[in-house]
Amino acid sequence: MSAGTITLTNGSAVVGGSGTSFATELAAGDFIVSTVGGVPYTLPVKTVDSNTQLTLVSNFTGPTQSGAAWSAVPRVALNMVTAALVAQSAEALRGLNYDKQNWQQVYSAAGNITVKLPDGTTFTGPSWKYLSDKLSNLGNSATRNVGTAAGTVAAGDDSRLTTIDGKTGGALTSSLNITGNTASFINQAGSPSTGTLVFGGSMRSSFRIANQERAAASLQARYVWGNSSSYAELSVATFTASGAVGVAAAFNFDGNGSATAPGAWVPNSDGRLKYDIERIQDPLGKMVKLRGVTWKRLDDIAPGIGFVAQDVQEVFPEFVFEGGDRTLDDGTVVEKVLSPDTYGVAAALHHEAILALMEQIEDLKKQVKALQSGS
């Protein structure tokens, strides 16, 4: 505050002072500041008449007040305030202009926008229009609660998403890879009548043209209710363009270990695939080492007929093969069960033995003929 007090008169430009030093503290163009009736007044000085009197640029418009405290404000200080106000106003206007541009982008731009601040810094992000356009395609799922009941949406860790249990059938349009066991079954509430053919779900592979099956193969478990064992049927077929069956056959693999086919089981035997082809030596000597036998099994498999693997192994060890283990009815485990190539051994050995016998017969015929000629 400046020294002394002042008197301001409504409608007058003359300001009186008491204990003031107007001539020292003020000059024309400076300002005095005083609060009258709770309102601050900033008044420009036109002339300094003496230490106790000055004249304002314009008449005082406030209420008459004597003994008021006052402050001298040099013109340079007010100019600095004005300059600062102009600078701050310019900065504020610049910010407002940026705001208008920013808000226009926020509402109207279709993608990312760059927001500018008055200090020159920027940051980039999606516009509200972009977000609105993206969210508009979500439908009502965007506002639904997470849950398992109708009218809710599933969470990413929902256990229902990790299984197809309880789902109904449908068609897959691309490959399906499964790690682990699979099962295809038909469930029936009660037992069927004895003699009824029942079957499980089939595993089917087919080729189609315009959704018409043209070639197919399927594997299915089948059982005549009441029989001691079931069987698996492997079916293959071709179809005409109209869907009629072309060529078809079914191969049965019985639960007792036997397999049947409507045709022959035909192995490869092309000479172009082989080398070191040799005739069986001493076929008759080998024949006597092999027993043609019948048997009953210790593992609940049907009786059989043929060779014993160990007999074949003694004569043709390279044509007896080790397989997996089998468990007998009493729980005994037989490891590395032996399986001979019975068909190959029997066919080749019997053929060569017959040829050897035919040769012996020819020799005997010659001997008989010689004896008859000598008599």
Output the DSSP codes for 7-31.
EE-TT--EEEEES--HHHH--TT-E
In a domain, 41, yes or no: yes
- pLDDT for residue 4 is more than 70: yes
Q: Report percent pLDDT > 70 for the chain.
A: 100
Same domain as 223, residue 285: no
In a domain, 342, yes or no: yes
Which two structure tokens, joined as six digits, stand for 310?
A: 């160990």
**Counted domains in the chain:** 4
In a domain, 55, yes or no: yes
- pLDDT for residue 339 is more than 90: yes
In the block, which residue shows the tokens 């071709």?
Answer: 238
- The CATH number assigned to the domain holding 56 equals 2.40.30
In a domain, 338, yes or no: yes
Looking at 56-70, 111-125, 343-357, which range is the least confident one?
111-125
In a domain, 213, yes or no: yes
Same domain as 215, residue 255: yes
Q: What is the pLDDT of residue 294?
A: 97
What average pLDDT does this structure show over 196-200?
91
In a domain, 315, yes or no: yes
Q: What is the pLDDT of residue 157?
A: 84
Same domain as 112, residue 38: no
List the domain range (segments joined by +) for residue 251: 197-260
Same domain as 308, residue 358: yes
Same domain as 355, residue 303: yes
The H or E element that residue 112 is part of is strand 112-116
Same domain as 356, residue 284: yes
Which two structure tokens, joined as six digits, stand for 319?
A: 């044509």
| End-to-end CA, the chain | 174
Same domain as 358, residue 299: yes
- The reported pTM is 0.51
Same domain as 102, residue 33: no
Same domain as 253, residue 301: no
Under a CB-based contact definition with an 8 Å cutoff, are residues 306 and 295 in contact?
Answer: no
Q: What is the pLDDT of residue 118?
A: 75
Helix (H, G, I), strand (E, B) or coil at 226: coil
In a domain, 224, yes or no: yes
Same domain as 290, residue 354: yes
In a domain, 350, yes or no: yes
Q: Which of 32, 25, 28 is nearest to 6 (CA)?
A: 32
Q: What is the pLDDT of residue 167?
A: 81
